[in-house]
A and B are shown apart, each in its own frame.
Chain A
Amino acid sequence: MSGVNRPKIAVRGLKKSFGPKRVLDGVDIDCGAGESLVIIGGSGTGKSVFVKCILGLLRPDAGSIRIDGEETVGLGRAARERLMRKFGMLFQGSALFDSLPVWENVAFGLIQGRGMERTRARDIAMEKLAAVGLGAEVGELRPAELSGGMQKRVALARAIAAEPEIIFFDEPTTGLDPIMADVINHLIVKCVRGLGATAISITHDMTSVRKIADRVAMLHKGRIIWQGPTAEIDASDNPFVDQFVHGRAEGPIAMEVRAG
């Protein structure tokens, strides 16, 4: 995956509050085309809110989000629907539709979002399921019949089914055993590279970070407090990053939690 050249995604001064609680307090970050950026940070630091603002699921209070140079904050319904075609998203809890069989979950964006004929969409869904290591028989099952790891694979297949330009991964390995987590990480790298897509992931899992990231940024108290190549994360010279990466209870983050 290449480094940052022309930003695919450019975020400037992004702010978002919920009542009196300011979650994002002026986030500035770029993500280059074909780059895999991972956002790390403690629980409740606004990682999911950041991604939801880019996706348009939440409306920012202030700031700018440019995709391919086009301002996306305040887009109308039709323009937003068009923009969504660039995106794929893997949700933390997979967010598969219970009422539909697995193959229709994977093909959903093709059938409903793009009006593709069902038999063709089904063929593509089966291809994508195979790409994440699931057989055709799984396509006929309901999501509730699958294990957590299989649900994540289906969610990954759904995220890449329409071959999006930008894919978001929200805690892709949460709740999985280490082996399945590694399988998912491997599939993420394979799929993102295969599509040549830009990827933004949010995670707590440092193993996952080292496997899937080209560049890492740390979100703390609503701001990006450090960003750099993955290889530099162990020598960041930032006490917040250092504490988070090494998972230590003692450090500036813990001290602030106690003070709060």
Chain B
Amino acid sequence: MLSFLASIGAMFLAFLAATGRIVLFTGQAIAAGATPPYYPRLLLRQIVNIGYFSLPVVGLTAIFTGMVLALQSYTGFSRFNAEGAVATVVVLSMTRELGPVIAGLMVAGRVGAAMAAEIGTMRVTDQIDALTTLSTDPLRYLVLPRLVAGLLTLPALVLVADIIGVFGGYLVGTYKLGFAPHSYLQRTQDYLETMDVVSGLIKAGVFGFIVALMGCYHGYHSRGGAEGVGQATTHAVVSASILILVANYLLTAALFAR
């Protein structure tokens, strides 16, 4: 019994230590950005990498999510003659929840893993130490542009995902479920408020930051050659995915608190 309690205590202490390390790492990276030099070319490269190159995967996921959402909500609402709410449910679900969460998870898998692998490889091949010896702060050069790019780019990506997801619902609603196109679009607009979209974009910014932070943190602290880089990549994706879902609940509770 005591050993069971001790192992729970040890796990809790390890969790606190890891949280502390991540907070310190974040603080150091942000502090590094307080003084020049800055690297706008690297920032632009990361924005293109996170945003532009994630468009296909996020777009595909969003369109099918919107389509399934229309089908499922139709199935449910038709049981109490509320089929007319399908368009509203699709647009609210996409903008408030599914757009940011699905884009965040997809980017975590695509970009977070790549960041952890790239920075992790740089760590185990001494390239990060080499940066330091060349009078270049690795946090400022490698980490900060990725954090800023994640923060700025995911909202833009989510805006596109929202539009594509709603379009997916529209396709199913009009071609398969028999809604009139004009009526479907009208329903989509009628109950949509600015805050629905804005709250999704705020979430997206936070999720983008989380994805980049986990990718950079796990890559930066990887050890032990190829195996260590592999572990860093896995940890980056898993931790970013969990944190996105936790942050999603906390942000939803904060943004829609009555």
A interface list, Cβ under 8 A from B: 52, 55-57, 77-78, 81, 84-85, 87-89, 91-93, 95-98, 108-109, 112-115, 158, 162
Contacts and interface: CB of A to CB of B under 8 A. Distances in A.
Interface string B119-133: 001100111011011
20 contacts: A52-B129, A55-B129, A57-B133, A78-B35, A81-B135, A84-B135, A91-B126, A91-B129, A91-B130, A92-B126, A93-B125, A93-B126, A97-B127, A97-B130, A108-B136, A109-B135, A112-B39, A112-B134, A114-B135, A115-B37
Query: Is the interface on chain B under 10, 10 to 19, 20 to 34, or 35 or more residues?
Result: 10 to 19
A96 B128 CA distance: 10
A56 B133 CA distance: 9
Contacts of B122: 97
Given A109-B135, A112-B135, 10 more contacts: A55-B132, A57-B133, A81-B137, A89-B129, A91-B126, A92-B126, A95-B127, A97-B127, A108-B136, A113-B135
Contacts of A93: 125-126
A57 B35 CA distance: 21
Nearest to B129: A57
A87 B126 contact: no
A57 B134 CA distance: 12
Contacts of A57: 129, 132-133
B209 interface: no
A89 B135 CA distance: 11
Contacts, number: 59
A91 B132 CA distance: 12
Given A95-B125, A95-B126, A89 B37 contact: no
Contacts of B141: 112
Contacts of B135: 81, 84-85, 109, 112-114
B133 A55 contact: yes
Contact of A84 (B32, B35, B127, B132): B132
A72 to B, nearest CB: 14
Nearest to B124: A93
Contacts of B130: 89, 91, 95-97
Nearest to B37: A115
A109 B134 contact: yes
Interface string B128-150: 01101111110001000000000
